[in-house]
Structures are given as structure tokens and as C-alpha cells.
Structure 1
Amino acid sequence: MLRSSKAGATQVQPTAPVPAQTIRFSTPVVETPGIVVVAGWVWRLLRLLAVLPVRFPVAVATVAASALLAYLIGWFGLAAAWTVADVALLVWWRRWPESFKTRVARRVLATWRWLWVYRRHWQPVLVVSGLAESYLERQFLPQIRGVTCSAWADRVRVKLVAGTAPAEFEQRVSELAHGFGAPSCRVEVRGPRDLVLEFPRRDMLAERIDALPVPDSPDGIDLAALPVGRCEDGQPWNLRLHGTHVLTVGVTGAGKGSVLWSAIRAMTPAITAGSAEVWAIDPKRMELSYGRALFAHYADAADEAVSLLEDAVGAMQERAERYAGRKRVHVSSVRDPFVVVVLDEVAFLTAYHPERDIRRRAENAIATLTSQGRSVGFCVLAALQDPRKEVLNLRNLFPDKVALRLDEASQVDMVLGDGARDRGANAHLIDPDLPGVAFVKLEGSPAPVRVRAAFVTDADIDHMASRYSGASSVSDEVAR
């Protein structure tokens, strides 16, 4: 609108906009009839009564039998029956404790954990961690199908919501562990919409494991399952050497020596018998030098180490030529012993040595051994601190890998493969006060396993070298 002022100037006055019309829609409120509410309660009660005998058959049978006894013989008879049952359980517990734990104690514990820990906190933990799904203003949660307890962990079986993937749980293992008060969480996929969440209740690997006993004779040694420590579930950790290659990665002080010496210790009688040999390379001159008397060949200088690797390649190729057309599987014997090439600080030869020719020759020899040696009885057991490609670009030639304590979270997937950290292999979070604790990735198995290697002391190594070195074919020229 134009208006004239006293000074004759024309000013433009702002025109007020048309006020917005506010339209309110009133949502009718319909009261739910009382009969519908009561019917809902009755339906939930009937469903609970139908499910209880299936979910908890022992508890339901116990309550039913107690009620029947109270009706037939009275409360005094019921008290007598419960006394007899308690005495029987006490005898069972004292006489067969493992059977009692498996069939009674852990089932009761599983019921309690299901009710008080998982069922109670299931919805808030999943909603806060972002694992609840919404559709048409309705919330959908994965369902707990059951809880079982072992000696060290809870296993929660879960049915996923249609349209979701196990990867969503794998990416939130930290949130789930903290949400349910567990030290860690691992995800095991069992099938479509079916997975298991494993929550440890206590750390079975918190205490140091002393050096395992040396086998009595070479006849009982399985080179494909050498006992070197313990798994998190309390079972022995058996390291496979025959038919594979093993890469052990960890920072200084993580316990790489425990893995190397535990493997050597487990095969010591075979070394004495001549059906196995260890060719050792020790650039630091500290880790493997204690056991020189056990080794068929030993080297510490770079040029000697590369020569040893090339000699191993030559021996492997000679054996392969003899096997061609005659054998497909190697069987350890005195003529054709199983050869383990132990490489401590392999990065010194492949990345850190100043001479390019040394690095090239070492890399070529390791690549040849790891790509051709499995079928003819040659194994490379290597230890490394830095798993980056520029340090060792041959790590994919090692089928079995051991990840001890690492510096960075990204290194976990470098060692164990993509997705290992999402499956709970938090090697970068291993306590520095727990040397020898590691996560193991075996060939053909996607799930990493938490283990701890036994600690072999200097005194143990000296005893091994003095007692079992008599039949060892040590090469004095290389061991200088």
C-alpha cells in the first residue's frame, strides 16, 4: 500500500500477510470395552500356560507332582518327599559333580539368566543399540529362542526379524556386551534368521598357563594337532602345523615366543626320533638362540638366514620331484622328516633389511615354501609385529593365523580377515598383563577363537635342549 507522508515522500508500507488458517483435526477417542481388555489378559494367560510345559518341562512337572502329592498324602508327606529328593540331589552332586552340573545346575542357571538378565533387559538394550525395527508405528524385536550355560559362558539363541541380517549384530557386539554386563560378545550364525550370541561370564584365560608336559614318545604326537595352550572354553588349543602354514602377529611383549616354543616343545620327541626337524631363523639372536641344540639348522645373520631359506626350498623341491607320480600325501619318517621353518621377526628379512637383494631373495623363498610346501611336509611358522602389506605382502599365503595383542583395531582384519573384529576378535583390546592371549583364525572357519598359549620359561628351554638334543642333526656350520 502506498501512502504520502508530510514531506511528500512516498513510502511503501509493508502489507500484512493473510493470516494462516489453522485447521485442527480432532481424533476421536474410543474407549476400549472392558470385555476386550479382560479377553486379552485371558489370552496371554492361556498362552503362557501352554508354553510353560514346553519351555520348562522339569519345573512344571515338579510343581505338578508337588501339588498332586500334597493333595494325596498331605503336607507332611510332601515335606518328606522333598527331603528325600534333596538328599538324592546332594548325593548326586557329591558323587557325580560333572553330571550334576550339566543336567541340573547349569540348566537352573540358564533359566535364571534368561529371566533376570536377558529377558529383563532385552528390549531396552536392543532399542538403545539400534537393533529394534519399526514398521507402521509398530516395534519389532528379535526373539530369544533359548539360553544355555556352559562352564564359562551364556549362549543366547536369537531369531531375527524378517528383513534383518546377522551383520547388524556383528557390528554391535560392544554395545551388546556392555548392555548385558559381559566382558565380550561373539556372534555365531547358525542359519537363516538364526544366530547365537555368546556372552562369557568369566575369563578362563586370566591365569598364566605353565609349559605343557613334553609327550612321552613320538608315536602319540599328531603334527596336525599339537597341544600348545588352552581355548576360552577350557578345551586344549591344538595348533596344526602339518599341512598348513601359521602366521603369528603381535606387538612386543604380546607372547609370540610362547606360541613358537609351545609348538616346538610339543614336537620335541619327534625331533629326537628324527621324524621332524626345525630350521630356525632368529634375527634378534634372543628368542630362539636358547634352543640351538634342538634345531637341525639355525641362522641369525641376514645372509645366512636367506641361504637357509633357499636350502629349504631346494630340499622341498627335491622331495617334490621324488614324490611326483608316486605320492600325494606326506607321512613323516626318518628319511622324509616333517620340516618346520621357524621365522622369528620375519619383517627384518622382507622389509627392514637395507639390502634390496636380501629382501627380494627372502621374499621369493618364503613365497615358494608357503605356496608349495604343504603337500610334501614343509611348514613355515612365522612371527611378525606389523601386519601391514608393505611389511609382509605374503600374509595371505598363511592359511592359519594367530592374532596376539595388536596396536590398532584395523590390524585385526589385516591378520584374521575381513569381518573378524565384527565377530568379536578384539585383539587390539587384549590386556597387556595377559601375554599369550590371542585370537585364532583357522582355515575354513569364519569364527575366531580366543586362546592362550602356554608360557615356556628359559629353564624349560634349557631342559629341553639338554635332554632331547642327542638325536638332533644340528648343522654346526649354520649354527655358528
Structure 2
Amino acid sequence: MFKRLPGDEARNLVTTTPDTAIVFQPAVVRTPALVTLLIYLNRFLVALFRTIWRHPVATAVPAALGFTWYQYGWPLAASLFGIVVLSLVSWAFIDRRSFARLVGWRLLAWWRLMSVYRRHWQSVMDVSGLGKRVNGRTYLPRLLRVQCDGWADRITVHMLRGQAVKDWSDRIDNLAHGFGATSCRVALIKGGRLLLIFPRHDPLATPIPALPVPDQPTVGPVEIGKQEDGRPLRLKVHGTHVLIAGATGAGKGSFLWDTIRGLLPAMRAGLAEVWALDPKLMELSFGRELFQGRYAADPADCADLLDEAVSVMQKRAARFAGLQRSHVPTIEDPFVLVLVDEVAFLTAYQPDKQLRHRISAALATLATQGRSVGVGVMAALQDPRKEVMNIRNLFPDKIALRLDESEQVDMVLGDGARDRGALADHISPIPEQGAGVAYMRLETSPEPIRVRAAYVSDTDIRAMVAQFGEAA
């Protein structure tokens, strides 16, 4: 019924010679030398064809120089080589951006592929446990492609069959240290393929000064800082809700004031209003003249202001019913952004139970119904635990600044965010290095991105009040 395995038969054998072990010698199949040579020749031709197909220019240039040397001698080949080098150098000086995009980053990617990733690939895979050994044969994930840009290396990898993204995200520290990078991030491209991102340097290491106030009024995504890849950071505030979490001194105020700064022209034009709740009486009180009387610090006044926002929202919903499904800012119906600094003081630490329930109910109502009628909420807090902020899942866009514990990262950004590289608990506590640095997870993209908000100083806030305070 059952097939006997070789080990079963060997276990039943008994030697008649004392103290003598039974030795089994495996059968050896001798491959003819001609077959071995043909196999190696086939591999060489396949690799040569793949190299020519993937890098036609890089292979054509040395081939042309070699042919010129063979046909016409080395002086002409050396002259052509000098012309090519001089042309590339001139191109780099004249238009550095296009040279980097078409030549520079590709050369760097090839160099990093050969000197770093392909050189250490097998050892890193073995030590990290991502390579597997089955029946004496080693299986390694395939390194498909290396791309470079101004700040990071992007590695496309084909996983082994049966591997999951979590197998890689659990080993981001092994991968980062194995390839000499400060960090590693893992993103799924499609089934079986991963993108590993290894930053080469940190463009967010230095503080960003306050950005200029926009010339034109807009409630669209407002520019508030810079992303890790050097692109501008534009935060969507109209049509969404934003939750900001971070420890004391992490820079939550930078996101609040950058948002206000970006909306100032729209506030002056009557297309936007900012309603500020400042229970700490420290952050937003500095520019209370900008809020046109929509400012509250006392918990009871905060509850009244939230109730008024709910009333505005409900009246708009009644007027928009059956006529429009999305809000377009107008002077009659401006975009209303409710800013709440240290929301936990109002929803969890407020000793008046009735007032606490009233504030929590108003925030929940705004978070569930406000975005479609032009009422948004931006809330900042220090402690992201569920018992402190039980409506955090109602905020589509989330920002995690420096946090005290690794578990808090997933509390803010969602399950699995830290495994994909959102190391908010590793952000430096030194203000010059870490203030305003955060990981952001947007509704439109599950992958966290590392950003830094510009620093709006007290002098900048005074200038904003002087210019827009009366006209706002």
C-alpha cells in the first residue's frame, strides 16, 4: 500500500562485523565533457544576448571602439574615445538634469548593481533567511533590476514561490545592514515581485524654512514641505480629514501652521475658513486674529464651536441633497477646516463627562459626514491609543511624527505600516534633525511616505497676522 523509502530499508540492515558502520555510496553519473561545455556555452550566449538587449548603448560603444582599434589602429580609437568622453562631460555641464536622467543614474545603477547588490546578494539572502535550501540545493530570490535616483536605490526582486511580503518586511533591518544602507522599505509591485528601497542619503536631515504664501487662492492640496525623494509635499485638506500624532516636541504645530499658511489667500478671498480649537492655549493662540472669531480655548467654548460646525454641515447637506454630491468652495459656502490641537484633552482627559461626550459626538459626526459638504477636520494628539482617540479610523489621511513606542506606529497609520518601513519610533528627538519629520499614509495610497513639514517660526506667524489678520 505504502511505498518504502530508502531510509526504511537501510534501518533494517544489520552488520555481522562488530563495530563496523554500514556505508552507502551514492551512485555517480559522469557527464561527458562535451555536454558540460555545451551547457556553459549556452549560458554564456544567453547572458550575452540579455546584456546586449538590456544595455544596447553600453555594449555598442565599447564594441565600436574595439572594431575601430582593430580596423584602423589605436590612435583613431583613442581619439573617438576622447570625443565621447568630452561630449558626455560637456552635456553634464550644460544640462545636468537630462544627463543625470538619461546617463548618470543608469551608470550609477549599473555600478551599484555590480559592486553592492550582486556582489553580496547570496550572502545577505542566506544570512537573513530569505534564501532556502531544499534537498541540498540552494534557492535564492532573483535580483531583477536596480534603478537609482537622487536619493535612493530601488531594487526589483522576484520572490521565491511560497514567500509572502511579510517574510521580507520582517527582515528590513537585515537587508539594510547587509547592503550598507541606513534603512529599507518594502513595497509590493505585483504578485511575486517586490520593490526594495534603500536610501543613500537623507534629504530631510536639515530643517525647511517657512514656504512662501501662495499667490492664488486655493483649497486644493496645499504645499507644506518636502517628501523624502525631494518632491514638494502637498497635503489634501478639502474633501478629507487628517489625523496628526506625535510626541511632545515632534513638530505637530508645523503641519497645523503650514496648512493655515497655504490657505491664507483662500481665507482672504472668502473661499475658506479655519475654525481653531486650542485647549492648551499655546499653539494656535499666537495667530487667533486669522480665524475671524472662530477660536476657542475653554472646553465649553470648544464644544459650542464644534456644535456650530455640525449645524453648518447639516444645513449644507439639506440644501445639497439631490443637487450635488461634492462640495465646490464659494463665498456663500466656503470650505470650513476645523483645527483641533491636542484633541485628547477634549475627548479623553476632560473631567466633565457630559462635555466630553458632547465633544466626542460632534467630532464623530463631522468625521463621518463633513467631507462631502466641505467641512474638514484636522486633529493633532500625542497619545494615539484607542481609549484616548476612539474615532481615529474615521480619518482617511494619517500622519505619524516621532512616537515613543513601535506599537504606536500601527495605531496611527494602520496595521503593517511599520513593517513596510514607517519607523516613526526611530525619528531623532533632536529638534534640528527630527522636528517636523513624519511618515504619512494617505487614503489613495497604502504605502507610507517619509516627509518633513516646513518650520513656521513665531516671526513668520506675526508676519501672517500683520498681512492677513484684518483682511482674513
Instruction: Name the TM-score, length of structure 1 as normaliser.
Output: 0.91
Does the 8 Å contact 1:283/1:348 carry over to 2?
A: yes
Give the letter for the 1:461 counterpart.
Answer: I
417-426 vs 133-142, greater mean Cα deviation: 133-142
1:405 matched to 2:402? The reply is yes
Match of 1:232 in 2: 228
Does the 8 Å contact 1:345/1:383 carry over to 2?
A: yes
| Seq. identity, % | 51
1:470 matched to 2:470? The reply is yes
Match of 2:440 in 1: 440
Runs ≥4 in structure 1, deviation > 6 angstroms?
18-21
Within 2, Cα distance between the matches of 1:275 and 1:41?
A: 71
Within 1, Cα distance between the matches of 2:349 and 2:368?
A: 23
1:451 matched to 2:447? The reply is no
Q: Are the structure 2 counterparts of residues 279 and 81 from structure 1 closer, same or farther at C-alpha, using a change threshold of 3 Å?
A: same
Does the 8 Å contact 1:247/1:402 carry over to 2?
A: yes
Offset of residue 19 of structure 1? 11
Task: Write the mapping of 1:65-80 to structure 2, written as runs, cut at 5 A.
Answer: 65-80=64-79
Offset of residue 52 of structure 1? 2.0
Task: Write the mapping of 1:46-195 to structure 2, written as runs, cut at 5 A.
Answer: 46-195=45-194
Task: Write the mapping of 1:300-449 to structure 2, written as runs, cut at 5 A.
Answer: 300-433=297-430, 434-449=434-449
Q: Deviations over 1:247-302 (max 9, x none)?
A: 00000000000000000000101111111001001111110011101113001111
Match of 2:265 in 1: 269
Q: Are the structure 2 counterparts of residues 301 and 68 from structure 1 closer, same or farther at C-alpha, using a change threshold of 3 Å?
A: same
Match of 2:461 in 1: 461
Q: Secondary structure at the match of 2:447?
A: coil
Within 2, Cα distance between the matches of 1:28 and 1:403?
A: 60
Give the letter for the 2:23 counterpart.
Answer: F
Does the 8 Å contact 1:283/1:345 carry over to 2?
A: yes
Q: Secondary structure at the match of 1:420?
A: coil
Q: Secondary structure at the match of 1:202?
A: coil
Structure 1 portions without partners, runs of 5+: 1-17, 473-480
Structure 2 portions without partners, runs of 5+: 1-15
Within 2, Cα distance between the matches of 1:342 and 1:234?
A: 28
Q: Deviations over 1:328-376 (max 9, x none)?
A: 2211111111000000000000000111111100100000000010011
Within 2, Cα distance between the matches of 1:39 and 1:32?
A: 15
208-217 vs 25-34, greater mean Cα deviation: 25-34
Match of 1:9 in 2: none
Give the letter for the 1:240 counterpart.
Answer: K
Offset of residue 400 of structure 1? 0.3
Match of 1:14 in 2: none
Q: Secondary structure at the match of 1:336?
A: coil
Offset of residue 166 of structure 1? 1.9
Give the letter for the 2:291 counterpart.
Answer: F
Does the 8 Å contact 1:155/1:199 carry over to 2?
A: yes
Q: Deviations over 1:161-208 (max 9, x none)?
A: 122122211121111111111111111211111111111100010111
1:216 matched to 2:215? The reply is yes
Q: Which has the larger radius of gyration?
A: 1
59-68 vs 116-125, greater mean Cα deviation: 59-68
Q: Deviations over 1:459-478 (max 9, x none)?
A: 10010011112233xxxxxx
Match of 2:291 in 1: 295
Does the 8 Å contact 1:246/1:380 carry over to 2?
A: yes
Within 2, Cα distance between the matches of 1:431 and 1:32?
A: 61
Does the 8 Å contact 1:272/1:470 carry over to 2?
A: no
Offset of residue 48 of structure 1? 2.8
Within 2, Cα distance between the matches of 1:127 and 1:345?
A: 47
Offset of residue 29 of structure 1? 7.5
Match of 1:25 in 2: 23
Match of 2:3 in 1: none
Give the letter for the 1:271 counterpart.
Answer: M
Match of 1:478 in 2: none
Q: Are the structure 2 counterparts of residues 74 and 391 from structure 1 closer, same or farther at C-alpha, using a change threshold of 3 Å?
A: same
Q: Secondary structure at the match of 2:446?
A: coil
Within 1, Cα distance between the matches of 2:27 and 2:311?
A: 88
Give the letter for the 1:81 counterpart.
Answer: L
Does the 8 Å contact 1:246/1:399 carry over to 2?
A: yes
Offset of residue 160 of structure 1? 1.2
Within 1, Cα distance between the matches of 2:146 and 2:18?
A: 59
Q: Deviations over 1:399-451 (max 9, x none)?
A: 00000000100111100000101110010111112100000000031100000
Give the letter for the 2:107 counterpart.
Answer: V
